Structure 1
Amino acid sequence: MIIKSVKNGNYLIAVSGLETEGFEVSSLLGSINELSNETGITLQLFDSSLIATWEHLFFSALNALKAFNYGKNISNNLSVECLLYTSGQRQISIAVKNFGVNAETKDIGIILIGDDINLLQEVFKKILLITKGSENDAVLSINSKDKFEKIRNFFQITEIELKTICGSDEWTSCIEALIKYCIERSSLLVLQK
């Protein structure tokens, strides 16, 4: 789990990846909502298949926090706002369909937002128990051409855009370019009407 302090230390954003054997979606979401309500920790789960590294999740959470702080939020719920920023979509239904956990999800991305590092770690441990999962941040990585193309297509990143930033045909350079574009698409959500 990666934890970063933001906004002069007022908030902590934690992101992580999990591997699971699968779960019953409504039961999982009910338990997660209950955990969030009990602890006051904002949390959001994602199907990791469109997540472009931990940075994608971190900057999405940061942008969601900024949107709330400046009154530019789309939704009335910070966890939903994180989902919208991660997806780069203003439509909740599109964000849920593409980034929400579902019956086929095995690999999960997580965002946790709070102000107490010990509580964030405690909530994360409870999520591991609820999902019967194990921490594996590698599920957030772009580790295959299929995932690369799936992300590129979803965010409608053209070959020209990639080559502009990529600078070479080297795989790692192209992955870094794709990550930058995903973060950029997320950041630009506030400007969409």
Structure 2
Amino acid sequence: MRKLVYFIASTLDGFIAGPDGADPSGPDGFWPIPEDYVGHLIAEYPETLPGPARTALSVTAEGTRFDTVLEGRRSYEIGIEAGLTDAYPHLRHIVFSRTLGESPDPAVEVVAGDPVARVRELKDEEGKDIWLVGGAELAASLYSEIDRLVIKQSPLTIGAGIPLFSRKAAFDPQSWTLTDHTVLGSGVVFLTYDRAAND
């Protein structure tokens, strides 16, 4: 069965964006993008680079981990504001929104219904794993369905912002098993956790 993987960048204090929700790695962002971080993404997770970045970096590798990317409306609108109706044209792209209405791009599927039900359908399909890119509200609604966390932890604190899971997440303590880690010279750490089996 395919896994739902929350592959996300986080600060040391657990935030994925600043309080305004804007792209923290964009032109006016505060998030450092070290060269070794980009190199690790190209080598290990090339499919997670947006289309324009893949073009700029001459990345053509299909990738071996994901064939589908999921995001919420707010996360998707960051791309829209940058002029991208489909930031991941090399992946099956699904956006969850009750308010977006018709998709602005024929290649992007908009789902207004229950995210959990749709993700369960996707897991039953053949294919590679499913990448949950964000945001925090969608991650909160899919909390029980996430099989793996890959946290790209930056040596950065911001004090306040949008957490890994929005405050709408239910209180439901879960144990995770560290299954892989990569420490880069820049101080960025890639941490992979699989949901621990229930005892």
The reply to whether TM is greater than 0.5 is no
More helix by share: 1
More strand by share: 2
